[in-house]
Each structure stands twice: as C-alpha cells, then as structure tokens.
Amino acid sequence: MATRELRVNHQIRIPEVQVIDQDGKQLGVMKTFDALRLAKEKDLDLVEVSPMAQPPIAKIMDYGKYMYTKSKEEKARPKVKEQQTKAVRVGFKTGIHDLMFKAKKADEFLNDGHWVKVELTLRGREKAFAQKGLEQLETFLTKLSVPFTRQREPIRGPYGWVLVIQKAKGQKVAPKQPPATE
C-alpha cells in the first residue's frame, strides 16, 4: 500500500487553508502565503493533509521526518500471504492410485494455507449415479492426511459435485521432509 503524495510548501496553490501547528493546535483559517511564512519561521514545512476539506487543511510539520516514519510503519506491517483457492479434479472412475496422488497434491495446497476446491466430475450416464459420485468424493476426503474443515457441504452442479475445504484452525504446518535416500 503506497502512501499518497501530499502537496508541500509552494505546491499548495489554494489561496486560503486551515492551519494546524506542529503540536496539533488549531491556528484557524489563514492565507496560504501567511501559513508558509509561519512554517518557514519555525524551520518546518507546510503540508496539505486534507485537500478535499473546505477550506483544505494544512499542517506545519517536518515533512522528511513524516515520510520516514510512514515508510517505517509500512515496512513494519506483517506481510500477509495472499490466499488462493486451488482446484483438484476427481473423476467418477478415478482409481485408488490416482486418488492418492491427487490427495497428496491437495495436502500440499492445504499446508500452504490455500483453500481447496474438490470437484468430482460426472459425464454422460455417470450423472444418473450422482449418489455414487458423492461416495467417491467422500472416499477422496478420507485419503487426505491434513486435518481440514469443510466450508460448506458438497453442492451438486451441472457437471458433478463441488466441495470447498480449508486447513483446520490451530493445526501447525507440517515441515516438508526431504525424500529418503537409500
């Protein structure tokens, strides 16, 4: 999040501004020229902090120090990892080995903190056996090794079943173990 640029000193072109001094005391509405002179006497800057107000609000402050503290605050904010929804598709006739492979991939997504959308696709005549498809989806969920919570119950769509899961709260991320060498 970038800070917006503020108008400083002679960049302020409005004839009158409401002035606040460096201690936060209201000095009232005065001509911009007089406010600039007052700031220069105190060896500080006149900064327009609220340009949309009527009249605009300008504060007497050390602009360099203000920008330095703002940049420090921005850097101090914790970096939030963007959460994404990853998808794993399972078919009606997907074999056990393929289910295990896709479950392993879903475990990786859950460990990375992503939501996982599990889609069970039904084609043609398989749509008549939608309940068996739901059983296949439940079988897939038993193959997951990471504890998870369901965001909502499975929803029947035009192409099959859809379920969204996320990692259960309070669970620590399992460290990735290097492959065993023999």
Q: How many CB atoms lie within 10 A of CB 133?
A: 22
- What is the tens place of the pLDDT at every residue in 54-69? 888 999 998 888 889 8
H or E stretch at 170: none
* pLDDT at residue 4, as a whole number: 64
**Top-confidence residue, 178 or 139:** 139
Q: What is the mean pLDDT of residues 72-101?
A: 84
- Give the integer Cα–Cα distance in Å for 42 and 76: 31
Phi-psi region of 160 (alpha: psi -120 to 50; beta: other; left: phi over 0): left
Give span(s): CATH 3.30.110.10, the chain. Answer: 85-167
The partner residues of 84 in beta bridges, in order of sequence, read: none
Pairing of strands 45-50, 57-61: antiparallel
* pLDDT at residue 1, as a whole number: 41
Give span(s): CATH 3.10.20.80, the chain. Answer: 9-76
- Give the integer Cα–Cα distance in Å for 129 and 12: 72
* pLDDT at residue 81, as a whole number: 67
Domain 85-167 superfamily per CATH: Translation initiation factor 3 (IF-3), C-terminal domain (3.30.110.10)
* pLDDT at residue 172, as a whole number: 56
**Is the pTM value of this prediction over 0.75?**
no
Name the band, by pLDDT with cuts 50, 70 and 90, for residue 49: confident
- Give the integer Cα–Cα distance in Å for 142 and 54: 63
* pLDDT at residue 129, as a whole number: 86
- Fold designation for 9-76: Ubiquitin-like (UB roll) (3.10.20)
23-27, 75-79, 129-133: range with lowest mean pLDDT: 75-79
* pLDDT at residue 119, as a whole number: 92
Q: Which residues contact 137 (CB under 8 A, 6 or more apart)?
A: 90, 118, 120, 154, 161, 163
- What is the tens place of the pLDDT at every residue in 115-125? 999 999 988 88
Place of tokens 């936060």: 24
* pLDDT at residue 71, as a whole number: 87
To the nearest 10°, report the CA torsion of 91, 92, 95, 99.
50
